[in-house]
Structure 1
Amino acid sequence: MQTLHLAGGTHRYQGEVDIRRNRNPLARLCGFATNLPPAMSAAPLAVEIAAAPEGERWRRDFGGYPMQSRLWRKAGRLCERLGLVTFAFALSVEEGALCWRVQKVSALGLPLPARWFRGVYAREYENAGRYCFEVAAALPLAGELVHYRGWLAVDTSSGAGDALPRVDQRHEPDLEGADSGRRDGDYDTDGGSDGD
């Protein structure tokens, strides 16, 4: 996990993923807004992470279906823009796993009630020498939007995956629309609130 998250520049990782999706029309609409991948089993997964001082760009390929997001640090939280939606997560370590829990959400720059997103979370952990992950998203009325889990092979002997040239990054706006980026390369993992 440290190898994957602390590597600078651009690196690519390969693995496998299982994805479950809800066929509810409202869930499908929400999945479209956040560019979620379709349901699939034991699908090949490729993840390219481009890390720069101001943030990261994650490009995922779920069995030929691309999903891209940008991540940066803001006010002690890890922010991620996924499709039309921006999330701010508090990070904590629970039973050996790094857990992401939603603190704030906005869509097209408009704030949404965080309580709607209590069913959105992610876990990262190591198992049998692999980087493993689980991501779930459920909303009131819509139910479960997506639940996926899988693994990536990370070469810890070289410090990262297959190295690629560093790519330029731009700053991402924070949840209130002001320009802000990850400046120091570290994410807070205490899960605390910054009081806003």
Structure 2
Amino acid sequence: MTVLYRRVLGAALDDLPPQLLALHDSADPRTWSGQARIWRGAGILSRLIGWVMRLPPQGDAVPVSVSFIPQDGGEVWQRDFAGHTFMSYQYQAPNAQPGIVNERFGMIDVTVAFQTDRDRLVLEPMAWAFGPLPLPKALLPTGQSFETQIDDRFVFDVEIAMPWVGQIATYRGWLLPTE
């Protein structure tokens, strides 16, 4: 079976920088490690949502590792930010359009559109659900999120914000394959 990102992006995956290709075009379990800077929203509701999502606390130069484990045609992403762990499962829903991936965080399922933009992979939330129940699009978490390569490093920039709440979390950093 073709790996998830190859199925979702097809030949467009080959146009991405080498580190993105190496991270996303493997059928083998792998771990990448690096560093991140994490910002968290200051409001009570923002902090509560971040806690429910199990997002890491704010910090600079936070050691991070991510294990990617192929499973059932998708991938489990196990993230470890200095001992604060959380995971998700990425998969392609049946009959999904090209470029669309679902990512499940516990009972929350987010549909994300992947778009290649020169040397970046841009991630745009499209819909979400709690279990089988669709949630209002007006409350859909948003943010400017992308992956790229800088100086031979895989670089991630993830923003999570919600209407009427503001910033939940932003984490930016880099990863390299763990030997």
Alignment partner of 1:23: what SS? coil
- Pairing partner for 1:29 from 48, 59, 63: 48
**Counterpart in the other structure of 2:74:** 55
TM-score (norm: length of structure 2): 0.81
Alignment partner of 1:141: what SS? coil
Contact preservation (8 Å) 1:37, 1:66: yes
Identity in percent: 29
Give me the whole-angstrom Cα distance separating, in 1, the residues matched to 2:52 and 2:106.
6
Give me the whole-angstrom Cα distance separating, in 1, the residues matched to 2:144 and 2:106.
17
Q: Does 1:46 align with 2:65?
A: yes
Q: Which moved more, 1:32-41 or 1:126-135?
A: 32-41
More helix by share: 2
Contact preservation (8 Å) 1:9, 1:52: no
**Counterpart in the other structure of 1:177:** none
**Which ranges of structure 2 fall in alignment gaps of 5 or more residues?**
1-19
1:109-158 C-alpha deviation (Å, 9 max, x unpaired): 3211224336234200011000000000111121100001000013xxxx
- Pairing partner for 2:33 from 4, 7, 14: 14
Offset at 1:96? Answer: 1.7
**One-letter code aligned to 1:152:** L
**Counterpart in the other structure of 1:125:** 148
Give me the whole-angstrom Cα distance separating, in 2, the residues matched to 1:147 and 1:80.
18
CA RMSD in angstroms comes to 1.5
**One-letter code aligned to 1:66:** T
Which structure carries more relative contact order (alpha carbon 8 Å, separation 6+)?
A: 1
Alignment partner of 2:29: what SS? strand
Contact preservation (8 Å) 1:139, 1:145: yes
**One-letter code aligned to 1:149:** R
Give me the whole-angstrom Cα distance separating, in 2, the residues matched to 1:122 and 1:94.
12
Give me the whole-angstrom Cα distance separating, in 1, the residues matched to 2:118 and 2:135.
30
**Counterpart in the other structure of 2:109:** 86
**One-letter code aligned to 2:49:** C
Q: Does 1:147 align with 2:166?
A: no
**Counterpart in the other structure of 1:109:** 132
Give me the whole-angstrom Cα distance separating, in 2, the residues matched to 1:152 and 1:125.
11
The list of structure 1 runs, each at least 4 consecutive aligned residues, that deviate by more than 3 angstroms after superposition, is none
**Counterpart in the other structure of 1:100:** 123
**One-letter code aligned to 1:49:** F
Q: Which moved more, 1:78-87 or 1:96-105?
A: 78-87
Would you say how many aligned residue pairs link Structure 1 and Structure 2? Answer: 156
